[in-house]
Structure 1
Amino acid sequence: MPHWSVYTGDSEPHDGIDDLPAPPPWRAFDGGPVLPVPRDTDDGAAVSPDRAHRARTYVAAPETVQLVNAALVLRRPLLVTGPPGTGKSSLAYAVARELRLGPVLRWNITSRSTLSDGLYQYDPLSRLYAARRAVWRAGDGTPGAKASGAGRPDDGPPAGTDVEEHLRLGPLGTALLPYGRPRVLLVDEIDKSDLDLPNDLLNVLEEGQYEIPELMRAARRSGPGATAEVLADGTDAPVAVTRGRVRCRAFPFVVLTSNGEREFPPAFLRRCVRLRLRRPDHEQLTEIVRAHLDTPAGEAEHLINRFLARAADGELATDQLLNALYLTGVAGLDADSRDALADELMPYLSATADGDGF
């Protein structure tokens, strides 16, 4: 393995990320103070059993291993494209597990997603309601009552009305905190986004930093060094943000997945390391099945060949094969019934010679 590689793809957790080469001078970041990466079990952020299984059993091709390491060393996002079911999102969990980078921060993209959704969410209405409740409770209990002396400069804001109490960092905003190790950010199905989102991401991913205007305005009133305690994505533990500015230290490992349904702007593409996942061949499928299931060799071989034969005529996903192997294994069917059930569990994902995709 090249000396600059830290991800091996063998799924065994290790601390090789500490040996990651220094970043290129144009990709070095100096945010602080340095934060420790949370463990998967911190603050209830444990990985769900299904994702833990996917991370542990992920089978990485040599090209995948090489390009993951390239993205880590260059501090660039990894744009992963390929047909459904080829393990695009599972790759993020596999890298996080092997390199001990904490829980994956996941941002599921829809046509309505905006950059601010990924950075942070602020609820001004809840702050307004909190202020009204605070005035009510401080007064005599009647509508419109106000506490004696309320509103004087030395009173300070009522409890529950500070901006940070109604603001929470999103997955992208959390990934850019100054962690000592890179966090893993999965931006899933970015090709479903509005046309502007990839371009909107450019500046944030290029600069490794962003600002929170609501906290910056509050900081101007509080004076130099004003720090707010805000909640990060996936945890109930607050983190400190000084004067409303966030800058990363270890650039996150960003995995952007796409089913190839659209083209991206050249300016966006040139800032990414690009990985194209292809459908696994017979050897890779055999290894994937072995990692996931204890299916007898003969039965697995038969259904793998059947899967590959069907895949020649239409689009199938690897998890369809795994579903068929698992269910036919527990059903105890004869050979003919097993094959018929397997075919029912492996419908085409797009229009084929069958006409309607089924």
Structure 2
Amino acid sequence: MNEYPFRLINHDKDGSINPDILATRPFLAVDTSFAAEAKHFIPGERLETAMNTAIAVGSPLLITGEPGTGKTQAAYYAAYKLGLEPVIHFQVKSESTAKDLLYNFDTVRYFHDAHLAKEDSVLKKADYVEKQALWKAMVSEHPRVVLIDEIDKAPRDFPNDLLHELDQMEFSITETG
């Protein structure tokens, strides 16, 4: 057993923790989330014009820029100003596909249930489809702000694959036939 220059737990006595050596962190009572900070965001004139134009023509808006320039905050600001909160946030990963923005088919659960099902039972594949960010926005009763964050990490075809679905506001689910 290693000997350490401190004793966090006092095994010799009652096993209690010595509170004098525990690290303390200040409690932040202030909400520092993007949603909370949205009311303090001040968009530049070009961004404001782009946002207003996208709203006027009913078109999605793609905001690009260097890290830390306020792209994410702009989405939360738009949702706040337009009363469209909460923002539907999709975090892109290097393996993300356009389909991931629309839906997820729970293949593992489907195969698990199929394995346990009786021979004469029929599983409905539609029961294994989970709505994702864009589908949730498409079926929402009210317009929604969808933040597709870190889109630059996606495969090259990712943005192009979304164009049809965004233009038509419809898509098909290949797994359900």
| Range class of TM-score, shorter chain | 0.7 to 0.9
In 2, the alpha carbon distance for the partners of 1:209 and 1:107 equals 19
Q: Percent identity?
A: 34
- Of 156, 161, 167, the residue aligned with 2:129 is 167
- Of 116, 124, 128, the residue aligned with 2:99 is 116
- Of 72, 78, 81, the residue aligned with 1:98 is 81
Are residues 1:203 and 2:158 paired?
Answer: no
In 2, the alpha carbon distance for the partners of 1:128 and 1:195 equals 31
Cα distance, 1:197 vs structure 2: 1.1
In 2, the alpha carbon distance for the partners of 1:131 and 1:193 equals 33
Are residues 1:59 and 2:21 paired?
Answer: no
Where does the alignment leave 5 or more consecutive residues of structure 1 unmatched?
1-47, 136-149, 218-358
Are residues 1:185 and 2:168 paired?
Answer: no
In 1, the alpha carbon distance for the partners of 2:157 and 2:32 equals 35
**Given residue 169 of structure 1, which amino acid in structure 2 is its aligned partner?**
K
Please say if residues 122 and 166 of structure 1, whose CA atoms lie closer than 8 Å, have aligned partners that are also in contact. yes
Q: CA RMSD in A?
A: 2.1
Deviations 1:105-130 (A, max 9, x none): 11222221111111111023311212
Q: Which residue of 1 aligns with 2:22?
A: none
In terms of fraction of residues, the more strand-rich structure is 1
3-state SS, counterpart of residue 171 of structure 2: strand
Alpha-carbon distance change, 126 to 180 in structure 1, aligned in 2, over 3 angstroms: closer
Are residues 1:130 and 2:113 paired?
Answer: yes
Please say if residues 106 and 130 of structure 2, whose CA atoms lie closer than 8 Å, have aligned partners that are also in contact. no
In 2, the alpha carbon distance for the partners of 1:102 and 1:133 equals 41
Where does the alignment leave 5 or more consecutive residues of structure 2 unmatched?
1-30
Cα distance, 1:185 vs structure 2: 0.7
Moved over 6 A (4+): none
Deviations 1:207-242 (A, max 9, x none): 121112334x3xxxxxxxxxxxxxxxxxxxxxxxxx
Are residues 1:194 and 2:155 paired?
Answer: yes
Alpha-carbon distance change, 83 to 130 in structure 1, aligned in 2, over 3 angstroms: same
TM-score calculated relative to the size of structure 2: 0.73
Please say if residues 127 and 162 of structure 1, whose CA atoms lie closer than 8 Å, have aligned partners that are also in contact. no
Aligned residues: 147
Cα distance, 1:134 vs structure 2: 4.0
In 2, the alpha carbon distance for the partners of 1:131 and 1:207 equals 34
In 1, the alpha carbon distance for the partners of 2:125 and 2:172 equals 14
TM-score calculated relative to the size of structure 1: 0.38
Please say if residues 39 and 77 of structure 2, whose CA atoms lie closer than 8 Å, have aligned partners that are also in contact. yes
Q: Which residue of 1 aligns with 2:69?
A: 86
**Given residue 134 of structure 2, which amino acid in structure 1 is its aligned partner?**
L
In 1, the alpha carbon distance for the partners of 2:75 and 2:116 equals 44
Deviations 1:234-255 (A, max 9, x none): xxxxxxxxxxxxxxxxxxxxxx
Cα distance, 1:163 vs structure 2: 2.1
